[in-house]
Structure 1
Amino acid sequence: MMDFLEEYWLRPDPADPRLSEAVSGHDETGAAIETRVTVERPLTLFLNAREIVTMMTIGDYPEYLALGYLLNQNMLSPDTEVTAVEHDEDLDVVVVRTATETDFEEKLKKKIQTSGCAQGTVFGDLMDVIENARLPQTPLRTSWLYHLTHKINQTPSLYLESGAIHGSILAREDRPLVYMEDVGRHNAVDKIAGYMYRHGIDPADKIFYTTGRLTSEMVIKTVRMGIPVLVSRSGFTAWGVELARKAGLTLIGRARGKRFLVLSGQDRLIYDQDLAYIPEESARNRRKGAGE
């Protein structure tokens, strides 16, 4: 029934007991209930001997999260030689070691990144990513987009298990490849970036799907990863649209049922899907949109 799950290289494991826990409470009638809630824990990141940031995270894939964070903050470059990534689960610490000291270790003072996505640290030199972007003109068929979003919405996830979570998906054509979740949407994005870096994934023919809003930071991170298409069920910010247009990024939002809006990079789209065969999204499914 869900044979497409075999297409994934990596996807959520909502049954992982480390990621959620049972909590008792009461419902709207006063009846006693038990429900599952997402677990969050601190993870302190070091770059060599320098403490960089403490992030609140669900704790899976700390290696990918650490590498992706440093890459997307421009504290590592794709050609930086990483000699080791060491995770101490007892101390909630991950250390990324490089062959030489980097130029960016002093740029980020110690800061707690909250589960409310308050990242708030995008350096001015990251704007060079937008100004110098050379994204490939990879085509996007609308039939791929509809099939892809359907598969993502049918994938078992921690969101469906316990909520309070964001998701990011790396895809090619209509095939989801890597699905990461976390309490902060930027963490989920950074895990994708770290996975791509660690496994040498070519971004040229990829699509990036996020359950979060299409903000300036989401656009900058997608462009920095070299991915030409960014898609979300959620809406846009004005600066996110402006930066996407400057970078030549295809930006698609409010992708629900048969509807979507493309506000940048429409030239990549090939409108090959007959909308008569795409069902409208029910009100119930609109309310339970993943990661919102």
Structure 2
Amino acid sequence: MKDFTVTPNTQDTRLFENIQGIDQHGRPVDTPVIEEKPLTLYLNSREIVTMMTICDYPEYLAIGYLLNQNMLSASDEVSSVEYDEDLGVVVVRTPNATDFEDKLRKKIQTSGCAQGTVFGDVMEKFEKIILDREAVLRTSWIYELSRKINQQPSLYLKVGAIHGCVLCEEDRPLIYMEDVGRHNAIDKIAGYMHAHNVSPKGKIFYTTGRLTSEMVIKTVQMEIPVLISRSGFTAWGVQLARDANLTLIGRAKGKRFLCLAGEERLEFDADLSTIRDEDAKYQRKGSHE
């Protein structure tokens, strides 16, 4: 598979709005600002949640959200996904009724941006998953992925205030999704993988966001054995990664990275003297920390 099968559409003017203001010198400026819109998700006839999203891949977001909340399983058949842009509604239909009522009774508040409520027992599936112990992560792949992803045109580089997630294989970035919440971005990738029968075997998950418990749980639920981030960790995220034998790489910028779980998968094949420091124009500060 070639690099970047799916990338952010920086030319889609529906995703941002030009807004006038003034800068630090009091001069008038015209700057693009990301759009966020409410999207209400239905599973058959039941309303599940309303999310704030940029609405570029609502069908993938809907399926991925349901998969990552265990309201759908990988084996469930999806008969249709219907999106109404004017109403801001997406409906996922299955041929048979799904048993998700109990999952609506328990809610926990999370640290996620733009998606603060996760339904159900998030550990229901987590503890049963065995990640691929034969998977490896070469350090040369970490540096090459960072370079390719940073240099790819993105909504972040165009307008900021957004998170990115990328499904990768070895040193190749494959599926690049962005959204105002990192959970939306990861759910879009989960939905894409389900819709296109993409196997998690040999895959790597890259995110610009923090390595929180929710990011670790979703990566494990997707059965991806490696999670890399430009940003930092939370202690519970690290503990869950260790419990699940997930390789967890954070603070991956320039020549630096830090591995706090699953270090046995690392193969140190990169010559650091040949790795260039990150160009300042690609450094993402503030919104992803």
Alpha-carbon separation, structure 1, partners of 2:105 and 2:39: 16
Alpha-carbon separation, structure 1, partners of 2:142 and 2:74: 29
Alpha-carbon separation, structure 2, partners of 1:113 and 1:85: 27
TM-score under structure 2 length normalisation? 0.93
How far residue 113 of structure 1 moved from its aligned partner, in angstroms, is 10
SS of 1:220's equivalent in the other structure is: helix
Please, which of 37, 45, 54 is the counterpart of residue 58 of structure 1?
A: 54
Alpha-carbon separation, structure 2, partners of 1:115 and 1:271: 33
Q: Which runs of 5+ in 2 are unaligned?
A: none
Alpha-carbon separation, structure 2, partners of 1:142 and 1:53: 39
| Per-residue Cα deviation, 1:124-181 (whole angstroms, up to 9, x for no partner) | 2x31333212111211111111101100000000111111111000000000000000
How far residue 115 of structure 1 moved from its aligned partner, in angstroms, is 8.6
Percent identity between matched residues is 62
Q: Check the 8 A contact 2:139/2:267 in 1, yes or no.
A: yes
SS of 1:9's equivalent in the other structure is: coil
Q: Check the 8 A contact 1:53/1:110 in 2, yes or no.
A: no
Amino acid at match of 2:31: T
SS of 1:195's equivalent in the other structure is: helix
| Per-residue Cα deviation, 1:16-74 (whole angstroms, up to 9, x for no partner) | 11101100000001000100000111110000000000111101111000000000001
Amino acid at match of 1:228: P
SS of 1:59's equivalent in the other structure is: coil
Please, which of 54, 67, 92 is the counterpart of residue 71 of structure 1?
A: 67
Please, which of 225, 229, 237 is the counterpart of residue 228 of structure 1?
A: 225
SS of 2:132's equivalent in the other structure is: coil
* Structure 1 residues 90 and 106, CA gap change in structure 2 (3 angstroms): farther
How far residue 84 of structure 1 moved from its aligned partner, in angstroms, is 0.8
Please, which of 137, 149, 153 is the counterpart of residue 140 of structure 1?
A: 137
Across the aligned residues of Structure 1 and Structure 2, the Cα RMSD in angstroms comes to 2.3
Q: Check the 8 A contact 1:139/1:268 in 2, yes or no.
A: yes
Q: Check the 8 A contact 1:141/1:270 in 2, yes or no.
A: yes
Q: Check the 8 A contact 1:211/1:290 in 2, yes or no.
A: no
Amino acid at match of 2:103: K
* Structure 1 residues 149 and 287, CA gap change in structure 2 (3 angstroms): closer
1:106-145 pair list within 5 angstroms? 106-108=102-104, 116-121=113-118, 123-124=120-121, 126-137=122-133, 138-145=135-142
Q: Check the 8 A contact 2:103/2:119 in 1, yes or no.
A: no
Please, which of 85, 92, 95 is the counterpart of residue 89 of structure 1?
A: 85
Alpha-carbon separation, structure 1, partners of 2:285 and 2:189: 24
Identify the residue that residue 182 of structure 2 maps to in structure 1.
185
Alpha-carbon separation, structure 1, partners of 2:112 and 2:180: 5
TM-score under structure 1 length normalisation? 0.92
Number of matched pairs:
287
Q: Which runs of 5+ in 1 are unaligned?
A: none
Matched, 1:219 2:216: yes
| Per-residue Cα deviation, 1:101-129 (whole angstroms, up to 9, x for no partner) | 111145237999999334231532x3133
